[in-house]
Amino acid sequence: MQKRLGLIIVIMHLFLLTGCIALVVGAGAGAGTFAYVDGKLSRSYQANYQKTYEVCKGILADMKMPILKEDTDGLQTTIKSQRVDETPMTVTIRIIDPDWTEVSVRTGYVGVWKKEISTQFHEFIAERIKK
């Protein structure tokens, strides 16, 4: 029941922020909810902010992707990076509640987004969050 409530809250929040949801995939919050809007692939994770933040930074380090810029406002952190092939990537980690975070990944240039790379980054996050 709690997972369904979390899923409903996330979907409603995304709908209110974007006006529409381009794509939602996943059976429940435990499986992960994806939303793909304007080149940004977002997914919620049942993990606190600090763990999710550390996982994302660890993946960037393992992929030899430098952090070009990092901004935080207390509720979310946006990390701008660049892949080895110089493709830009932006990762935003946002607090939903103490036990849930949302990560949005945008890879590529405006109009030439690379959804498959963003999906792969999310797969890495999901794998590491389980540990």
- Asked if 63 and 83 touch (Cβ cutoff 8 Å), the reply is yes
pLDDT of residue 9: 59
What's the pLDDT tens digit per position in 6-62?
555 555 555 444 443 433 333 333 445 678 787 899 999 999 999 999 999 999 999
Q: Which CATH superfamily is domain 2-129 in?
A: Kinase associated domain 1, KA1 (3.30.310.80)
Give me the phi and psi of 106, to 5 degrees please.
-125, 125
pLDDT of residue 55: 98
pLDDT of residue 131: 76
Q: Is 90 helix (H, G, I), strand (E, B) or coil?
A: strand
What's the pLDDT tens digit per position in 68-102?
999 999 899 999 999 999 999 999 999 999 999 99
